[in-house]
């Protein structure tokens, strides 16, 4: 994995100029009174005069960092907050379990940073409830979750915002996610341009396209993207509880795809750590052990997202038939394989 460069953070609501850096934008100029009062006015656009002429607009972005026994990832969380240099950014750091002192350490470390809000509730909720609550707490134009064990390039938010501003029909934009081992070794599977063809901005977007991606592609790949907050809140498009919350992120992405276009943004990078006791690590084995319950859960939640979408009724009906038919065929295929193995043994 390439080292993530450290960049200074310059923040303020009213700024006089902005300088481009290799990683994105650094704002020059601050508003001392806001910093002294530890207030951050982030619900409206920041418009700045550029040193090279013209003006730039930075719409407000909320990034939520849900903690869960995060002490071993403390330095990663700190690095993400300090290196992402988007000038109109608000962080919500939340802990719903209180299993360690991570939140207290972060509150102490960032006590003078008005961009950050800290939330502590010891209700022991699962990750699905936690993520949904963070969306409801958020304000601004765009939103993203930032898992405590992932790393992000300094220009990650800036690139996604620029893309969403340039393409108002896109509901969610995401970048390249690299899978890395605990020792930092890159274990990503290289992807070809053909694999990203479904997300090219010039392609037409339809219910058929959303269903195709849902059945043939791991939509959870885009879960770390940046999305338009207001439509998601208004439609109450929450993450639904699957069986043991497995792959609830990918199913939620299907719901987003039914709402509007999702798009891949090149040269925008984050790094996902793969380790044995992560939330998703046991999902593959659990799905195998509880195949019937998982398959039924997947089908039921898929149809719920489809039913609650705003697409025409005819399209809902046809998409539902495709999803049910695909699920039945997958079940029949597995039974055929299992039967063939039994016959060979006999």
**Mean pLDDT within 13-25:** 36
Q: What are the contacts of 334-339 at 24+ separation with CB within 8 A?
A: 334/291
Spatial contact of 237 and 256, defined as CB atoms under 8 Å apart: yes
- Structure confidence at residue 38 (pLDDT): 39
Q: Measuring CA to CA, how many Å separate 276 from each of 44, 49, 145, 282, 283?
A: 42, 48, 22, 8, 11
Check whether 159 has a pLDDT greater than 80. Answer: yes
pLDDT band per the 50, 70, 90 thresholds, residue 312: very high
Q: How would you class 312 by CB atoms within 10 Å of its CB: exposed for 0-12, middle for 13-18, buried for 19 or more?
A: exposed
Dump the DSSP string for 228-294.
EHHHHHHTT-PPP--GGGTTHHHHHHHHHHHHSEEEEEEEEEEEEEE-TTSSSTTHHHHHHHTHHHH
Torsion-angle region of 225 (φ positive above 0: left; ψ -120 to 50: alpha; else: beta): beta
- pLDDT over 70, % of the chain: 80
**pLDDT higher at 252 or 18:** 252
Check whether 32 has a pLDDT greater than 90. Answer: no
Q: Return phi, psi of residue 286, to 5°.
A: -65, -40
Q: Could you state, in order of their start, the residue ranges of all structural domains in the chain?
A: 1-148, 150-346
pLDDT digits (tens, 9 = 90+) for 84-107: 989 999 999 999 999 999 999 999
Check whether 292 has a pLDDT greater than 80. Answer: yes
- Structure confidence at residue 336 (pLDDT): 86
- Structure confidence at residue 19 (pLDDT): 39
Specify the DSSP element, H or E, that contains 340. helix 313-345
28 vs 41: CA distance, rounded Å: 17
**Mean pLDDT within 214-243:** 94
Spatial contact of 140 and 228, defined as CB atoms under 8 Å apart: no
- Structure confidence at residue 143 (pLDDT): 98
Angle at 343 between CA 342 and CA 346, to 5 degrees: 90
- Structure confidence at residue 55 (pLDDT): 63
pLDDT band per the 50, 70, 90 thresholds, residue 184: confident
Average pLDDT, the chain: 84
- Structure confidence at residue 285 (pLDDT): 93
3-state helix, strand, coil in the chain (%, to 5): 40, 20, 35
- Structure confidence at residue 175 (pLDDT): 94
Can you tell me whether residue 137 is helix, strand or coil?
Answer: helix
């Amino acid at each position: 994995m390439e080292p993530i460069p450290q960049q200074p953070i310059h923040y303020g609501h009213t700024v006089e100029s902005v300088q481009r850096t290799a990683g994105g934008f650094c704002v020059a100029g601050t508003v001392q009174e806001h910093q002294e009062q530890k207030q951050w006015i982030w619900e409206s656009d920041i418009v700045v005069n550029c040193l090279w002429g013209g003006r730039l607009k930075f719409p407000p972005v909320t990034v939520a960092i849900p903690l869960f026994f995060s002490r071993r990832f403390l330095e990663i969380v700190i690095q993400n907050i300090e290196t992402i240099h988007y000038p109109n950014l608000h962080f919500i750091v939340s802990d719903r379990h209180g299993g360690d002192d991570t939140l207290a350490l972060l509150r102490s470390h960032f006590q003078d940073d008005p961009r950050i809000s800290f939330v502590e509730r010891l209700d022991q909720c699962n990750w699905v409830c936690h993520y949904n609550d963070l969306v409801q707490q958020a304000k601004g134009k765009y939103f993203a979750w930032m898992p405590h064990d992932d790393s992000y390039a300094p220009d990650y938010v800036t690139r996604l915002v620029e893309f969403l501003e340039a393409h108002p029909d896109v509901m969610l934009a995401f970048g390249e996610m690299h899978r890395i081992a605990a020792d930092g070794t890159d274990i990503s599977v290289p992807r070809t341009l053909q694999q990203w063809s479904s997300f090219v901005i010039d392609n037409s977007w339809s219910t058929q396209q959303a269903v195709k991606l849902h059945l043939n592609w791991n939509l959870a790949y885009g879960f770390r993207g940046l999305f338009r907050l207001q439509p998601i809140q208004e439609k109450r498009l929450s993450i639904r509880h699957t069986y043991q919350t497995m792959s609830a992120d990918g199913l939620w992405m299907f719901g987003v795809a039914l709402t509007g276009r999702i798009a891949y943004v090149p040269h925008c990078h984050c790094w996902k750590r793969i380790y044995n006791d992560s939330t998703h690590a046991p999902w593959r084995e659990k799905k195998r052990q509880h195949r019937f319950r998982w398959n039924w859960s997947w089908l039921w939640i898929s149809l719920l997202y489809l039913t609650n979408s705003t697409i025409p009724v005819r399209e809902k009906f046809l998409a539902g038939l495709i999803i049910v038919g695909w699920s039945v065929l997958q079940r029949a295929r597995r039974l055929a394989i299992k039967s063939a193995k039994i016959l060979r043994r006999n």
